[in-house]
Structure 1
Amino acid sequence: MTLPDLTTRPSRRLAGAEYTVTEPATGDVLGTVTLATAEDVGDAAAAGRAAQREWAGAPHFVRAGVLRRAGDLFAGHAGLRAWLIREAGSIPDKADFELHVAAQECYEAAALASRPTGQVLPTEEPRLSYTRRVPVGVVGVIAPFNAPLILSVRSVAPALALGNAVVLKPDPRTAVCGGQALAAVFAGAGLPEGLLHVLPGGAEVGQALVADPRVPVVSFTGSTAAGRAVGEAAGRHLKRAHLELGGNSALIVLEDADLDAVISTAAWGSFFHQGQVCMAAGRHLVHASLYDEYVDRLAAKAESLAVGDPHREQVQLGPLIDRTQLARVHGLVEASITHGARLAAGGTHDRLFYRPTVLADADDRTPAYSEEVFGPVAPVRSFATVDEAVSLATASPYGLSLGIVTGDPARGLDMAERIPTGTVHINDQTVNDEAVAPFGGVAASGTGSRVGGDANMEAFTDLRWTTVRKDVARYPF
């Protein structure tokens, strides 16, 4: 299949070096993009600020119309599907999921444009007193490689719908499906020029985006380490940073769980998109009465999954994104075995194709259990009581997602109340996403639910208080 050319869409000429876009499954060159520099950030922020005022003043149905048309374009964009498969290493089902969510994000964002934006307040004075949500101006979006379309558009779409301009920095490894494609779609949907700037680049571009005084809000998705740096810099510049960071989410399997149903769920939670998902089930906590059978059946499921080139083969797992990620994943697996974990399945790779891996007998000394792996690795640990399971689940610096599998959903809800996380899924695994739902983590996983649903209003607007008097106020001076 010949890929449609999405590499030349940005109208702004960037000043950085040429970057070769490669296919992780084969190493083939898919195209080239020009990287941005820190100077490009300033130019984009200035242009966005100049264009934003007219856009914010446009009738709400005009902004909504652009977002609806963008949703339609995402829903029918076969060319972008091919890029998600080949550039990001997605299996076709994952690419379809990203396109579906991207369309839904745009449709939901379109509805934001006509939402009530304030309240009339009681007042002691002879005046009208009210609040109103107003656009912040220019929103900076920094998005990662793993779900490049979703993790870009979930901030870009609502920010635009609410009257802002956006400067988007995608990961260079997925600069097309996480950046250039959005520029193409929104241009096709009729978004006026100057409102969306795509600047693929490295850390220096992100640093410039956080530092630029014309960008008062930054939406960042990425690792906890990078998020801390973004949050610290944003604090110095007195601007808001919405941080959606890493995770090491627990999937708890209680003694009344149906193993016939749970194994597929558990495998999906750890192996979806090669485990390169912040919400992935990184710790399988299984009641001792089910533990041995659970390990055996999860290992058998892992062994049955096909790993290969998702563009040319029918597989359940594609490649890891690059050799750096491969080295990290394999290093954590080998270190875990050295520290006493038992390799029940996987642990091998062919080029960037890593076999889904099950590590039994995990404990606090198991690196793949205690750290976020970002690879297809499922460490399994047993527990004897609900209190022990709660203690193990909370013994992590992260707090992104939680899955609890039980025959008694009310019991699962009671248990979830004791475990601090941003999202909870009873009788489901940890990887879930919907445009209508707020999303985010707590503790080392981020600063709470900062995108999705009603959270978008707070994320990308400021709350302004306004009063109006019929006559000029008089004071005793």
Structure 2
Amino acid sequence: MLKTLSQGESNTGFAAEIRGLLARLDVPAERYSGGSRIVRTPLTGEVIGEVAEATPAEVTAAVGRAQAAFEAWRKVPGPQRGELVRLLGEELRAAKAELGRLVSLEVGKIISEGLGEVQEMIDICDFATGLSRQLYGLTIASERGDHRMMEQWHPAGVVGVISAFNFPVAVWSWNAALAFVCGDSVVWKPSEKTPLTALAVEALFQRTARRFGGVPDGLLTLVLGGREIGETLVDDARVPVVSATGSTAMGRKVGERVARRFGRSILELGGNNASIVTPSADLDLALRAIAFAAMGTAGQRCTSLRRLIVHEKVYDALVGRLRVVYASISVGNPVTGDALVGPLIDGAAYDAMQQALQAAAEAGGTVHGGERIADAGPAEAYYVRPALVEMPAQAGPVVHETFAPILYVLKYRAFDEAVALQNGVPQGLSSSIFATDMREVERFLSAQGSDCGIANVNMGPSGAEIGGAFGGEKETGGGRESGSDAWKAYMRRQTSAINYGLNLPLAQGVKFDVDDGGLNP
């Protein structure tokens, strides 16, 4: 049984609904009851589960199983590995409604976003299935006669995946779908705030494995817990690749620890993303794009819009309209109503938001919104009105990422000034420009423009369409996941030269002739 709600907690029936969803997804009841880690929904603050956390010894054992699974799985031909991922996509399609709703209930997302996250998983399974027949190497011209040189890619080994609460399952799938078709096994540590969706995905993978047949035990292993569990996974030398999504502070620790043992990190970290609005922008289009980019998911996306850089000629027209939108946007429970902005994940997120707004006001900013909405939900839930903050300069909290719906607005005069503001923060994930002047668009996309891993035109800074590689530069970590050639991060490169002749020419014209008593002419 799930924990009985303590006095003052609001029981809206979500716990019972979640039990039903987990049962339909074949998650054993003992996996989400009776453990030491309490799970709450941000929608109401209600307890929705209790999970057992792994011990460091159990993580070490899990890596051992994953290593054995890798040694078997790497022998399976790539297209057959792709069939496993194709079947996983089928299971996700069949369970989309249940898993999507579970995402919304555990994270507090609007229903369409919960469903969209599962669709993203389906899409990456489709991509990875095709990729399983396209793990291409190269044939390289050799300077030596009767020689062939080639490059090929081999599975890397065990891949450790550390995912964040805001996309509890989609980001896992970006990593796991590619890792599986590349011949790797996966040990997954989800956010301690969102273990239930991870348990559901584990169950769907087990369904898939039974359909496929012959999947080695340990190909996917789930380890639940907090920092100590993550550190044990990161420090294990049998895990050559660690993909970690989270804060820059977390990523800096992960990167250092993995580098210490010469492992490889795929880091997806902070994103203090900006959009530039030029005088030629379509303001109606910009307004709609800005609203979703800044307020969607209650500002808890790594690609959320956090800085808006507006030309002085259109500043008053655009920002005046934005103030109206911010004052009227619907905030509340997106599962039981039609609100567009749901809750923050927890009280710590609310406190961080309030501290940032206070710092902005002290730095001369004019704050619109940002207050907690008491009647939007129970006292244990944290519903806030998104904040629009007009700043005199890019300083103080503006250069730091606060994982909350705060949009700082800055004014610019010259285009180069706007680009300098865009690039003048430590983070480098995503960016965008609203313009119909193609010279400004092309300059923004050039080597002299945005320094981010993602640069969009006439849309917000979102970058989750799976066909493209996702990731950023600077303190965002430099990692790439999902589409394009991101698959190479889950494999090891090998260059080979083959001599099919009778002579032994050396490269660069080096001569080293040895007379061993007649064998050398």
Note the alpha carbon deviations across 1:360-393, whole angstroms, 9 max, x for none.
Answer: 23423452x2211111111111111112111211
The yes-or-no answer on 1:415 pairing with 2:444 is yes
Aligned to 1:276, which of 264, 285, 300?
300
Structure 1 residue aligned with 2:10: none
Q: CA distance change for structure 1 residues 330 and 76 in 2, over 3 Å: closer, same or farther?
A: farther
The yes-or-no answer on 1:184 pairing with 2:213 is no
Aligned to 1:196, which of 180, 204, 220?
220
Aligned to 1:404, which of 433, 440, 456?
433
Q: Which segment is superposed worse, 228-237 or 73-82?
A: 73-82
Task: Give, in angstroms, the shift of residue 46 of structure 1.
Answer: 0.7
Normalised to the residue count of structure 1, the TM-score between the two structures is 0.93
Q: Which segment is superposed worse, 326-335 or 121-130?
A: 121-130
Task: Give, in angstroms, the shift of residue 93 of structure 1.
Answer: 1.5
Note the alpha carbon deviations across 1:272-309, whole angstroms, 9 max, x for none.
Answer: 10001111111100011111222221111112211111
Q: Distance in 1 between matches of 2:181 and 2:135?
A: 13
The yes-or-no answer on 1:257 pairing with 2:277 is no
Q: Distance in 1 between matches of 2:220 and 2:176?
A: 8
Q: Distance in 2 between matches of 1:405 and 1:451?
A: 26
Q: Distance in 2 between matches of 1:83 and 1:129?
A: 51
- Higher CA-based Rg: 2
Letter of the aligned partner of 1:35 in structure 2?
A: E
Note the alpha carbon deviations across 1:33-73, whole angstroms, 9 max, x for none.
Answer: 21122212211111011111222212333211111121122
Q: Distance in 2 between matches of 1:9 and 1:215?
A: 27
Note the alpha carbon deviations across 1:430-471, whole angstroms, 9 max, x for none.
Answer: 1231111101110111114x2122333211000123455679
Q: Distance in 2 between matches of 1:9 and 1:456?
A: 31
Structure 2 residue aligned with 1:94: 113
The yes-or-no answer on 1:61 pairing with 2:79 is yes
Matches within 5 A, 1:114-193: 114-123=133-142, 124=144, 126=146, 129-177=149-197, 179-190=198-209, 192=215, 193=217
Q: Which segment is superposed worse, 206-215 or 121-130?
A: 121-130
Note the alpha carbon deviations across 1:160-211, whole angstroms, 9 max, x for none.
Answer: 111110001100111122x222211211222623100111211111111111
Letter of the aligned partner of 1:157 in structure 2?
A: A
Conserved 8 A contact 1:153-1:182: no
Aligned to 1:355, which of 385, 394, 400?
385
Letter of the aligned partner of 1:60 in structure 2?
A: G
Q: Distance in 2 between matches of 1:125 and 1:49?
A: 41
Structure 1 residue aligned with 2:61: 43
Structure 1 residue aligned with 2:102: 83
Q: CA distance change for structure 1 residues 348 and 296 in 2, over 3 Å: closer, same or farther?
A: farther
Conserved 8 A contact 1:358-1:377: yes
Q: CA distance change for structure 1 residues 205 and 125 in 2, over 3 Å: closer, same or farther?
A: farther
Structure 2 residue aligned with 1:441: 472
Task: Give, in angstroms, the shift of residue 19 of structure 1.
Answer: 1.5
The yes-or-no answer on 1:27 pairing with 2:58 is no
Task: Give, in angstroms, the shift of residue 327 of structure 1.
Answer: 0.5
Conserved 8 A contact 1:405-1:428: yes
Aligned to 1:393, which of 406, 422, 435?
422
Question: The residue matched to 2:472 in structure 1 has which SS?
Answer: strand
Structure 1 residue aligned with 2:508: none
Q: CA distance change for structure 1 residues 12 and 452 in 2, over 3 Å: closer, same or farther?
A: farther
Question: The residue matched to 1:353 in structure 2 has which SS?
Answer: coil
The yes-or-no answer on 1:336 pairing with 2:367 is no
Question: The residue matched to 1:30 in structure 2 has which SS?
Answer: strand
Question: The residue matched to 2:343 in structure 1 has which SS?
Answer: coil
Task: Give, in angstroms, the shift of residue 215 of structure 1.
Answer: 0.4
Task: Give, in angstroms, the shift of residue 344 of structure 1.
Answer: 2.7
Normalised to the residue count of structure 2, the TM-score between the two structures is 0.86
Question: The residue matched to 2:333 in structure 1 has which SS?
Answer: coil
Q: Which segment is superposed worse, 406-415 or 1-10?
A: 1-10
Task: Give, in angstroms, the shift of residue 472 of structure 1.
Answer: 11
Structure 2 residue aligned with 1:458: 488
Conserved 8 A contact 1:309-1:318: yes
Structure 1 residue aligned with 2:129: 110
Q: Distance in 1 between matches of 2:246 and 2:179?
A: 19
The yes-or-no answer on 1:72 pairing with 2:103 is no
Q: Distance in 2 between matches of 1:82 and 1:122?
A: 54
Letter of the aligned partner of 1:376 in structure 2?
A: P
* Structure 2 unpaired stretches of 5+: 1-13, 375-380, 505-512, 517-521
Q: CA distance change for structure 1 residues 140 and 107 in 2, over 3 Å: closer, same or farther?
A: same
Conserved 8 A contact 1:10-1:198: no
Conserved 8 A contact 1:247-1:445: yes
Aligned to 2:351, which of 327, 343, 361?
327
Q: Distance in 1 between matches of 2:487 and 2:336?
A: 42
* Structure 1 unpaired stretches of 5+: none
Question: The residue matched to 2:442 in structure 1 has which SS?
Answer: helix
Q: Distance in 1 between matches of 2:65 and 2:437?
A: 55
Letter of the aligned partner of 1:166 in structure 2?
A: V
Q: CA distance change for structure 1 residues 203 and 360 in 2, over 3 Å: closer, same or farther?
A: same
Q: Which segment is superposed worse, 407-416 or 296-305?
A: 407-416
Letter of the aligned partner of 1:377 in structure 2?
A: I
Q: CA distance change for structure 1 residues 334 and 237 in 2, over 3 Å: closer, same or farther?
A: same
Q: Distance in 2 between matches of 1:421 and 1:12?
A: 44
Conserved 8 A contact 1:109-1:158: yes
Letter of the aligned partner of 1:265 in structure 2?
A: A
Q: Distance in 2 between matches of 1:236 and 1:99?
A: 36
Q: Which segment is superposed worse, 406-415 or 394-403?
A: 406-415
Aligned to 1:205, which of 223, 226, 229?
229
Instruction: Report sequence identity in percent.
Output: 31
Note the alpha carbon deviations across 1:396-427, whole angstroms, 9 max, x for none.
Answer: 11111111001224421212322211000011
Task: Give, in angstroms, the shift of residue 8 of structure 1.
Answer: 7.8
Structure 1 residue aligned with 2:334: 310
Q: Distance in 2 between matches of 1:121 and 1:364?
A: 49
Conserved 8 A contact 1:413-1:426: no
Q: Which segment is superposed worse, 351-360 or 188-197?
A: 188-197
Question: The residue matched to 2:38 in structure 1 has which SS?
Answer: strand
Structure 1 residue aligned with 2:11: none
